[in-house]
Chains A and B, each alone.
Chain A
Amino acid sequence: MFPFKNLIVTSSQSIKSLQDNIARVIKGKARVIEMAIVCLLARGHLLIEDVPGVGKTTLAHSLARSLDCSFKRIQFTSDLLPSDIVGISVFNRQKQAFEFIPGPLFANIVLADEINRTTPKTQSSLLEAMSEAQISVDNHTHPLSQPFMVIATQNPAEYHGTFPLPESQLDRFLMRLRIGYPTLDEEKKVLDRPPSLHPADEIQPVLNAQHIVDLQDQAEKVLMENSLMDYLLAIVLATRHNDLLSLGVSTRGALALCKAAKALALVRDRAYCLPEDIKELAPTILSHRVMLNRSHGVHAKTFEHTERVIQDILDSVPVPL
């Protein structure tokens, strides 16, 4: 009946091993790990927003390490230039021609650390890479190798000397995650670790790039029933007609939610989506795509506030029976 059901069983094993692998580094953050994998399988990019020192970089690092593919880290600073990340054409004297030196963006997993520290010019140079998975330099278009995933981190506590990401760029991130502090037990486990080496270095890759591409293809084939699409669109529509929000979710946002829900279904070993998948992912995927109405006052905790609004919307939209 379902020709790729068997495949899903094996894919569920590989996903499980990936999850376990990362969990060996990131203690007690199963949900965050799951979300990161969902993001990977939905061909999306991840924005991790949290205070420093809770493991943002470690998460990205361990994810990249678990996959047998290239990993580059870019530390974004205020004086970073676009050519520093996409690459630069250099004149080769021997060949008497310009030669393109690829920048750090030419990798499977790119960690853009503290993305809001750099100037909008540099931030926007990420745009084409993130949406089209290709880079155009000097009239040449260079495709990026698949899978391609940008994991960006930003620090919400410190606004001094930062350039908040423009809406267009925020929309290109599939989801915005918070990691949060670990519980006491989990933190204790972190402390217990032998300090000799970096935790991310002790794990071995479990999947290669081709596995990931296959899993991404499978995620696309996950069935979303007609009434679930209606449910999803009802949620999206509700954000557009909410008094508390000045900007609703775009069509790209709806598409992102759909893709992510399918990926989550695959991660949870299902060939079809459930209303759960949509409802659970909606705050993570939609909260950074909406803008709060300024007249209601902006608080420092914008993140929590938007998630609350999305949660209220979810509680008002009926689930199809």
Chain B
Amino acid sequence: MVLDQAFRLSSILLAAISVASLLLAIVLPPWLLTLAGLAFALALLRLNQMSSFAGLLLHLRCSALTWNVFLLLAFVGFWIDLMFVSQELLPSGIHFVMMLMVNKLSNLDHRRDFLHLYAISLISLLASAALTTQIWYAPFFLLYLVVGVWTLFLYHLIKERDEFPDGHSTGIAEGPSLSPLTHIRYSFFWTTNAMAAGAFGLTLLFFFSIPRIGAGFFQNNHGDSLRTTGFTEHVDLGAIGPVKHDPSIVMRIALPEAAGDESRREPLYLRGAAYNQYNGTSWSNSQPRRRMLIELPQGTFTLRTPGVKPPAAPQRLRQEILLEPLDTAVLFGASLPVSITGTFLSVQADLMGSLYLPFPFHTRIHYTAYSVLTTLISAERHPTAFLYPDFIAQQYLQVPALDARIVALARRVTQPATSVWQTVRLIRTHLLNNYRYSLEIPTRQSAHPLEDFLLIRKTGYCEHYATAMVMLLRTVGVPARLVTGFLATEWNAFGNYYTVRQRDAHAWVEVYFPQSGWITMDPTPPAPDATTQTWWLSASSVMDPVRLKWDRLFVYYSASDQFAVVQGIRESGEAVRARMSESLTALLRLWSTMLGRLMEVLTPVGFPQAAIFLMLVISAGYAVRLLLRQPRSFDSVQDYYSPHQRVVITLYSTMIDFFAQHGIVKPASATPLEFLRHVHEQWSEASPSADALTHLYAQVRFGQAPLTAEERTTAEGLLHTIRALERSGLTARKS
């Protein structure tokens, strides 16, 4: 049957594709390759059941027992392979799978054999996927998909045909089809291919869209990154305020070296950019020149900020940061970041220790930042006169033309101070105590925002506080600068990381001490109302790590992740192998002691007797096996039909069915020639063709003669002729 051949061909093709993908992923031993190639060649040769060569091959088939022994050997070989040869689960498993495939290819008799073959080919495809990250895998995968769809379609057609052998019972109006392949034309293949492509496309769509729907990708416009105007080279006062209502997540920070340490959950200042020049309404950086950072091996970029001495007690803090796309190129890190590790081409830094990428990024990025936490050296708390270096004095003491009342205020506040440290603390305390935190500030641009804040409104938010503090400090001659960034306060206990949102945007102050360096000071009082802890928030804090994992494992699944998975499999395989070899050794020891004891018993008996005993045991085992096998041989009554016989039986049955449809029923006890006479009496027009077909049937069916291709086409032609009679002659006979 052509359908059978197409089905077998596509099944073999499916297996071949998976093996080919495997071949490109792993180097297989030559003997296994030869074996697999031989199995494929034989399977292909068996495809054409009519050729005399196939008949020859039919006699070459090994018995089921041989194959069972083969499988047993393959299984033993698999363990030997795992323990001693390749010593890894993946290659030895692949070798075993190949052996299974060879077995199945050589024994494609029943439908379930085909199903097993599909399963094995899927396993080898998956194995090759685990072993490779190269792009050539894609065409194999697509091909596998397409052929898989063909094969499954054909499988179902075959199944349908086998379960409802007579076409008319399935409701085909045109009578039983001669060859079930009549409805399989080119359109069939195009349809299945289109279906495969459609399924693939749909899968891709789901794969890429579902996580993004959850992440809210489709609500915004694509490529529109979060607005964080605070991080440009220009900070207008009042820029952060509107942002502080936005709860969207900016980044997540894990502290791997401090995990589980409760003290780490105090607020974390994530430094972004620093500014040194204030013109009365906005901050800017007077020295926008940036330099490239030196790249160390493994993608680490280090920074030695000018003007910062190595701290006396360097306390390195490592942070794993997952940064969402922002419209700025600034990289964040706990103050003060000294080095960055990530997959960046280059990292830049300005003179104030702010880190930048060359251009804003539009994907989520992941990097590790190392920070040195600066603390004030105790010596500098005492009243001493500081001598500031020139470049510090030049850059960080700049004050615009300020209202005289502000200068007076600064002097008044710092009056009691005996040291710089006290000055700083007094100013901060003044700001904390006398001003009210509020985001309800009119957004219109004020001509003198600082004067408004300090003297008139006395209400503001972080930017105002920070600006005021810097200005007050500079007025009394203390170098200071404004820093913008995020204040991480939200600890996610489920994922063990800080969640930083847009509303955590913050501005604060860094004060310069000649020996300690830049010390972080925050003059802003805590926001009056922290967000209330609702069930919704706790639920979202549970969901966020889950979503992060999903994004991590599925949306941003990368080559390194695949490597990690393979590595994991290898490691677990190694562990299994170690444990197995341990128990095997124990078992072997047990056996050897038992064998030794047995030999002690047997030695007086003598070696020949022992050999005879061994042979008896083996033959007894064999006999038991044969006895167990006996009833099974009755199950496969159908097996003694050769393919040729099966073909003619199908053809002859089709003819019988056809005649039965037209009122000439063959009784079960009628022999072929008796039925032929019956046909001749009832419908003489059909007699000659039926006669020829019956004789061919008898010859092949009972004479076991091979059916040549010509004879087969003749037989199909005869069947055609008989069916043609139906259209022309039969109507006349009926009427």
| Interface set of A (CB-CB < 8 Å, partner B) | 1-2, 223, 225-226, 228, 270-276, 279, 314-319, 321
Contacts and interface: CB of A to CB of B under 8 A. Distances in A.
Given A226-B640, A321-B649, A270 B671 contact: no
B673 A271 contact: no
Contact of B705 (A1, A274, A317, A318): A1
A272 B669 contact: no
A35 to B, nearest CB: 18
A274 B675 CA distance: 13
Interface of B: 640, 649, 652-653, 656, 667-674, 698-699, 701-706
Contacts of B656: 321
B703 A276 contact: no
A275 B673 CA distance: 9
Contact of B704 (A225, A318, A319): A225
A318 B668 contact: yes
A318 B704 CA distance: 21
A60 to B, nearest CB: 30
Q: Which of B652, B656, B705 has the most CB of A within 10 A?
A: B705
A276 B669 contact: no
Contacts of B674: 276, 279
A318 B703 contact: no
A275 B671 contact: yes
A276 B705 contact: no
A276 B701 CA distance: 14
Nearest to B674: A276
Contacts of A271: 703
B274 to A, nearest CB: 94
B702 A319 contact: no
B706 A1 contact: yes
Contact of B671 (A2, A272, A319): A319
B672 A275 contact: yes
29 contacts: A1-B706, A2-B705, A223-B703, A225-B702, A225-B704, A226-B640, A228-B702, A270-B703, A271-B703, A273-B702, A274-B671, A274-B698, A275-B671, A275-B672, A276-B671, A276-B673, A276-B674, A279-B671, A279-B674, A315-B669, A316-B669, A318-B668, A318-B669, A319-B668, A319-B669, A319-B670, A319-B671, A321-B652, A321-B656
A209 B705 CA distance: 32
A311 to B, nearest CB: 10
Given A270-B703, A319-B669, A319-B671, 15 more contacts: A223-B703, A225-B701, A228-B702, A272-B699, A273-B702, A274-B698, A274-B702, A275-B671, A276-B671, A279-B674, A314-B669, A315-B667, A318-B669, A319-B670, A319-B672
Nearest to A317: B669
B409 to A, nearest CB: 113
Contact of B672 (A272, A276, A315, A318): A276
Nearest to B652: A321
A270 B656 CA distance: 24
Contacts of B706: 1
B667 to A, nearest CB: 8
Contacts of B640: 226
Contacts of B649: 321
A276 B675 CA distance: 11
Contacts of B670: 319
A271 B701 CA distance: 13
Nearest to A315: B669
A226 to B, nearest CB: 6
Nearest to A277: B671
A276 to B, nearest CB: 5
Contacts of B698: 272, 274
A228 B705 CA distance: 16
B704 A272 contact: yes
Nearest to B670: A319
A279 B667 CA distance: 14
What 9 A-B pairs are tightest by C-beta distance, nearest first?
Answer: A272-B703, A318-B668, A275-B671, A276-B671, A225-B702, A276-B673, A315-B669, A272-B702, A319-B671
Q: Which of B649, B656, B669, B706 has the most CB of A within 10 A?
A: B669
Nearest to B669: A315
Nearest to A275: B671
Contacts of A225: 701-704
Q: Which of B673, B701, B703 has the most CB of A within 10 A?
A: B703
B191 to A, nearest CB: 36
Q: Which of B656, B667, B670, B702 has the most CB of A within 10 A?
A: B702
Nearest to A230: B637
Contacts of A223: 702-704
B162 to A, nearest CB: 16
A286 to B, nearest CB: 15
A274 B672 contact: yes
A221 to B, nearest CB: 13
A226 B656 CA distance: 22
A314 B668 CA distance: 10
Nearest to A273: B702
Contacts of A273: 702
Contacts of A314: 669
Contacts of A321: 649, 652-653, 656
A1 B671 CA distance: 26
A245 B2 CA distance: 50
A9 to B, nearest CB: 15
B436 to A, nearest CB: 101
Contacts of B702: 223, 225, 228, 272-275
Nearest to B698: A274
B617 to A, nearest CB: 36
Nearest to B653: A321
B72 to A, nearest CB: 31
A2 B700 CA distance: 13
A225 B702 CA distance: 6
B358 to A, nearest CB: 81
A321 B698 CA distance: 10
A272 B703 CA distance: 5
A45 to B, nearest CB: 27
B21 to A, nearest CB: 44
Contacts of B701: 225
Nearest to A222: B703
Contacts of A270: 703
A321 B668 CA distance: 9
A180 to B, nearest CB: 22
